[in-house]
Amino acid sequence: MKKVVIGMSGGVDSSVAAIILKKQGYDVIGLFMRNWDASLNNDILGNPTLNENICPQEQDYNDALKVCEEIGIPLHRVDFVKEYWDYVFTYFLDELKKGRTPNPDIMCNKYIKFDMFVKEAEKLGADYIATGHYARLKDGNLLRGIDENKDQTYFLSQLTEKQLDHVLFPIGDLEKKEVRKIAEEYHLTTAKKKDSTGICFIGERNFKNFLKNYLPNIPGDIVDIDSKKVLGKHIGLMYYTIGQRKGLEIGGSTDKIFVVGKDLEKNILYVAYGEDNPYLISTECIVDTVNWISKEKPISCTAKFRYRQKDNPVKLEYLSDGTILVQYEQGVKSVTPGQACVFYQGEVCLGGGIIKEVRKDHKKLWYL
């Protein structure tokens, strides 16, 4: 009997993935990863509905433990707090300092879930590892999950073919509603548990309250990029991302005002009126930290510049320094440095990189 070690997060997806593996005849072992020392931050929980006597991560562990008891598999626990700090959280802070918008979940998959986790699973004698991601594997290719609204290949784009070699994604062929149904049929503790949202280590905490513990707030002007008028004050450039329209400290309605850029030297946050404002739109970007899962390196394909964004047709030019010039003549809104650019050919996720620079009509957008 083949042994599978599955990452149990305390959520419904990993719970159902474990059930499916057991039904398929595998010897299933659960492994819970403790990636964050929440006790350091338990005084800044921003959601009054949370039980402040127990941190969210501990609640997740308790839920994972109950599920494993309910389906009859053992659960081990491993501490990756130091590794997570070194490889994910430090990266997150460094990117924010540069005025970029990082995606730490992608780096968590690359360095923790499909690296450190794998090594721990091997100690337990695993033939395979498994997770509750909505993705599929076929003939060495990473495919989108069947549920288009939940597909998570975007977050797996920095993995290598070798990292995916002995991985199983049991729920990749299911839609979310089917996953919930299975969980209810088995009367699992997590059957109706709300999906986690936001950045993994922040969870339901208030983002601003959390971040000010690590980076100082440096207030500055909010400037209309067209009129050059000062409209208000921002609380720190790190709290804003390109295309954002909520949370701006401007009097009156901000429904039609969007963040379009940052000037780090002058500490200015630039905004513009109208969701179709030309300052929001770019036609090409430079992508570095490029990783290919597929052996194919196309000159044309589709790309996503944000999770849940629709596919955009792009042309690729491979530059001598290892970066890629990604061109999209039709124009795309809110392409943001620090976010992932993920390449697709149909349902196959080819790989991706990190957006380094955004351009319009071959000129770097200075306000980014």
Question: Is CATH 3.40.190.10 the right assignment for the domain spanning 3-185?
Answer: no
CATH number for 218-273: choose from 2.30.30.280, 3.40.50.11540, 3.40.50.2300, 2.40.160.20: 2.30.30.280
For the ranges 176-190, 297-311, 353-367, the lowest mean pLDDT is seen at 353-367
Residue 311 DSSP class:
P
On the CB side of 16, how many CA atoms lie within 13 Å of its CA? 28
pLDDT greater at residue 137 or residue 217? 137
What local confidence, expressed as pLDDT, does residue 97 receive? 93
Find the mean pLDDT for residues 3-14.
Answer: 97
For tokens 């076929």, what's the residue? Answer: 138
Sequence-separated (6 or more) residues with CB below 8 Å from residue 254? 245, 246, 248
Query: What pLDDT, on a 0 to 100 scale, did the predictor assign at position 46?
Result: 44
> pLDDT at residue 202 above 50?
yes
pLDDT given at position 52: 43
Which residues have CB under 8 Å from 255's CB, separation 6+? 245
Mean pLDDT (whole number) for 248-262? 83
31-45, 186-200, 297-311 — which one is most confidently predicted on average? 297-311
CA distance 255 to 237: 20
Question: Which residue shows structure tokens 């395979």?
Answer: 128
Q: Answer whether 25's CB lies under 8 Å from 150's CB.
A: no
Please indicate whether the domains covering 218-273 and 280-364 agree at the CATH topology level. Answer: no
* Catalytic (active site) residue 68: no
Greatest Cα pair distance in the chain: 69
CATH topology of domain 280-364: Elongation Factor Tu (Ef-tu); domain 3 (2.40.30)
Q: Which of 108, 285, 301, 349 is catalytic?
A: 108
Domain segments of the chain: what residues?
3-185, 218-273, 280-364
Which has the higher per-residue pLDDT, 185 or 195? 185
Of 50 and 150, more confident? 150
**Model confidence, pTM:** 0.92
349 belongs to the catalytic site: no
Per-residue pLDDT reduced to its tens digit, 292-313: 999 889 999 999 999 989 999 9
